[in-house]
């Protein structure tokens, strides 16, 4: 979570005091597949997530975080301890809050907020992100934000801050230095 908060800040406050923006693996602009968002994720995926969380949250999160960090992808291994720590953190939230976050993640439409980005914006997204697919998010945001630069990490999952730390650091420093 975070990209939506950036988008709403930009639109509600006119980007006050913001000189550059960065979206990393963000859900912006809109995740849900609809008639006017054909690259979105089908509602059934979100329904399955909700069912999994209600049925057995611990089991759901164990599988979710493996996808989140791309554990099954070659070259994107993170430690079992990191996956376990992520699951433990997620389990500390209430079920009600978790379900509300998932619903927000799935259905909040930020497309109208994109025009408020009036600063250079860097978008970084994993091309193999199974949590927030790049077509509905990173690529769509790059098309909708004037002066946006999209950097796609080939073969990368959603959890880039853990799997691609050095690369993100380099790309951020380069962007800030421009």
pLDDT value of position 75: 60
The pTM for the full model equals: 0.93
Please tell me the predicted confidence (pLDDT) of residue 74.
Answer: 60
Q: Tell me how far the alpha carbon of residue 27 is from its chain's centroid.
A: 4
Q: What is the pLDDT of residue 150?
A: 98
Cα torsion angle, 161, 169, 76, 160, sign: positive
Sign of CA dihedral 146, 21, 119, 16: positive
CATH fold for the domain made of 3-177: Rossmann fold (3.40.50)
Q: What is the pLDDT of residue 77?
A: 76
- C-alpha closest to that of 150 among 26, 15, 50: 26
The tokens 């693996």 sit on which residue? Answer: 25
Name the residue ranges covered by the structural domains of the chain: 3-177
Q: Three-class SS string for the chain?
A: CCHHHHHHHHHHHCCCCCCCEEEECCCCCCCECECCECCCECHHHHHHHHHHHHHHHHHHHHHHHHHHCCCCCCCCCCCHHHHHHHHHHHHCCCHHHHHHHHHHHHHCCCHHHHHHCCCCEEEEEECCCCCCCCCCCHHHHHHHCCCEEEEEECCCCCCHHHHCHHHHHHHHHHHHHC
Question: Which residues are CB-neighbours of 104 under 8 A, at least 6 positions away?
Answer: 4
Local confidence pLDDT in tens for the 178 residues of the chain? 699 999 999 999 999 999 999 999 999 999 999 999 999 999 999 999 999 999 999 999 999 999 999 997 666 679 999 999 999 999 999 999 999 999 999 999 999 999 999 999 999 999 999 999 999 999 999 999 999 999 999 999 999 999 999 999 999 999 999 8
Q: Determine the pLDDT at residue 141.
A: 98
Token couple for 134: 């790049």
């Amino acid at each position: 979570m975070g990209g939506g908060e950036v988008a709403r800040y930009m639109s509600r406050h006119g980007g006050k005091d913001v000189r550059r923006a960065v979206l990393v693996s963000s859900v912006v602009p809109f995740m849900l597949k609809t008639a006017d968002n054909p690259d979105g994720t089908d509602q059934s995926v979100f329904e399955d997530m909700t069912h999994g969380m209600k049925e057995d949250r611990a089991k759901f999160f164990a599988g979710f975080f493996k996808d989140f960090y791309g554990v099954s992808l070659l070259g994107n291994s993170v430690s079992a301890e990191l996956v376990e720590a992520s699951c433990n953190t997620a389990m500390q939230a209430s079920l009600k809050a978790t379900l509300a976050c998932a619903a927000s993640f799935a259905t909040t439409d930020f497309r109208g907020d994109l025009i408020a980005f009036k600063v250079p914006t860097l978008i970084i997204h994993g091309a193999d992100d199974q949590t927030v697919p790049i077509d509905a998010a990173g690529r769509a945001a790059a098309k909708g934000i004037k002066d946006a630069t999209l950097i796609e990490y080939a073969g990368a999952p959603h959890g880039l801050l853990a799997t691609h730390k050095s690369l993100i650091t380099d790309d951020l420093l380069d962007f800030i230095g421009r």
